[in-house]
Structure 1
Amino acid sequence: MMAKKWFVIYCKSREEQRAVENLQQQGIDSFFPKISKEKILRGKKSIIQEALFPSYLFVFIDPKDAAFSSIRSTRGVLDFIRFGAKIAQVNIDLIEKLKNICASNNALQSLPEQFLSYGDSVEILHGPFQGLSAIFSQTDGLERSVLLLNVLNQENKISFRNSDINKLEH
């Protein structure tokens, strides 16, 4: 039976990644949840990775065998989160949900502009317009794109989720 559990660690500001790397060197499994966000840097739209919980990360250790003091003295780590004298534990199901959320967010966040350009034909995969073809016009925020859709012989600009469209190859 596996006795490992997830615990929450508080890190020095902006040193979460350093803590993760140093913990990995010690053979300790850790999880630092990050999500993709759209930022405008020097006038250009780009996607960056940001901490979902700044200054916090999770470690997967056996509470009976773990060297808590060596983890606390790891570069980038300040201490374990505690409730009174008890070190805070996190349910494994919650960690799995967080991993899934981060993975799906990061997969959907790639800008369509990187693989779609104005005039490209796309297929609508889900929703009431499923199976119809449209023309890519522009991005509409991080998770959506504006398509030109011919409905009743009239071209309409309609916003769709990026996960609901696929580029058609000619």
Structure 2
Amino acid sequence: MNKQWFVVYCKSREESRAQLHLQNQGIHSFFPKIRKEKIIRGKRSTVEEALFPSYLFIFVDQEYTNFSKIRSTRGINDFVKFGREIARVSEETIKRLENACHSINDLKADTQSLFKSGDKVEIKSGSFKGLSAIFEAQDGLERSMLLLNILNQENKISFCNKEIKKAES
């Protein structure tokens, strides 16, 4: 067996449908997604989006695969080509993409188990790096509201959870 990774171009927003239909045909595919924080209808929520919109990676044996069957799979337009040659992607590149997607998507900090109202926290990055603040409350899924003393005045400022850590007592 001489399986390789190929790239297919999908119809707009039909990558998941194409992946499902390829799976039903017994074809292994990879659809890289990342989680993003967005404001939808005034509420902050986490959504999954395609890392490469309209593209899907498939792992098939070039000798024994019916490429026209893949091309006619629901949700797929065609293979990505360079001239007449179908684009291939190395195994190493796919592994790097998979690892990157896993590490990006697992970076969420769970502030409910880390901080309680009134806890002292330290800001790890950004323009307020190194300053101490008081944790006040959750501000959405990936942000927290902090009380920061600037020029002897208490200010409520929202920070990304990745930018704060519990202050050492």
TM-score of the superposition, structure 2-length normalised?
Answer: 0.72
**Partner AA of 1:44 in structure 2:** K
1:82/1:44 CA distance change after superposition, 3 Å? same
1:162 alignment counterpart: 162
1:114/1:74 CA distance change after superposition, 3 Å? farther
Percent identity between the two aligned chains: 54
Provide structure 2 residue ranges, at least 5 long, that are not aligned to the other structure: 149-153
- Tell me the CA shift for residue 147 of structure 1: 6.3
**Partner AA of 1:102 in structure 2:** C
2:9 alignment counterpart: 10
CA deviation map 1:9-52 (0-9, x unaligned) = 00000000000000000010000011001111111100000011
* Residues 77-96 of structure 1 mapped to structure 2, 5 A cutoff: 77-96=76-95
2:39 alignment counterpart: 40
2:19 alignment counterpart: 20
2:65 alignment counterpart: 66
1:76/1:160 CA distance change after superposition, 3 Å? closer
Aligned residue for 1:108, secondary structure, equals coil
1:152 alignment counterpart: none
1:53 alignment counterpart: 52
TM-score of the superposition, structure 1-length normalised?
Answer: 0.72
1:40/1:160 CA distance change after superposition, 3 Å? closer
1:40/1:85 CA distance change after superposition, 3 Å? same
Provide structure 1 residue ranges, at least 5 long, that are not aligned to the other structure: 150-154
RMSD: 3.6
Distance 1:141 1:116 in 2: 15
**Partner AA of 2:59 in structure 1:** F
- Tell me the CA shift for residue 161 of structure 1: 5.8
* Residues 107-146 of structure 1 mapped to structure 2, 5 A cutoff: 107-109=106-108, 112=110, 118-119=116-117, 136-137=135-136
- Tell me the CA shift for residue 164 of structure 1: 7.6
CA contact (8 A) 1:37 1:142 kept: no
Q: Name the count of aligned residue pairs.
A: 156
CA contact (8 A) 1:47 1:109 kept: no
Distance 2:3 2:164 in 1: 39
